[in-house]
């Protein structure tokens, strides 16, 4: 029983760690912007203050550099 509990705890800890490692970066939008939806579909709109996780990878660099978005760290 004790061994099973220990294994279970280890499994949960590993799962949490894995979840942390694949966590999708989130960004807080500081200026209103429009971006294409992943996989197509209608364009998406984000207003200042919105937190988004699906911005196009190709745009992240200049959006961060220009202060349009900031990474959410908390």
The β-bridge partners of 42 are: none
Cβ distance to other proteins smaller for residue 2 or 34: 34
Cβ distance to other proteins smaller for residue 25 or 32: 32
Task: Give 25's Cβ-side CA count (13 Å radius).
Answer: 11
Q: How far apart are CA 53 and CA 42, in angstroms?
A: 16
- The yes or no reply on residue 55 touching other proteins (CB under 8 A) is yes
29 backbone dihedrals φ, ψ, rounded to 5°: -85, 130
Helices (H) then strands (E): counts for the chain:
2, 5
Cβ 31 to other proteins, closest distance in Å?
Answer: 5
- The yes or no reply on residue 32 touching other proteins (CB under 8 A) is yes
Cβ 32 to other proteins, closest distance in Å?
Answer: 4
Interface ranges with other proteins (CB under 8 A): 31-36, 43, 55-56, 58-59, 62-63, 66, 68
């Amino acid at each position: 029983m004790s061994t099973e509990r220990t294994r279970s705890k280890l499994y949960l800890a590993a799962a949490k760690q894995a979840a942390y490692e694949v966590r999708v970066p989130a960004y807080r939008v500081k200026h209103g912007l429009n971006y294409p939806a992943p996989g197509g579909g209608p364009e998406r709109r984000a207003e200042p203050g919105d937190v988004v996780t699906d911005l196009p990878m190709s745009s992240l660099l200049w959006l961060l550099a220009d202060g349009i978005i900031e990474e959410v760290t908390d």
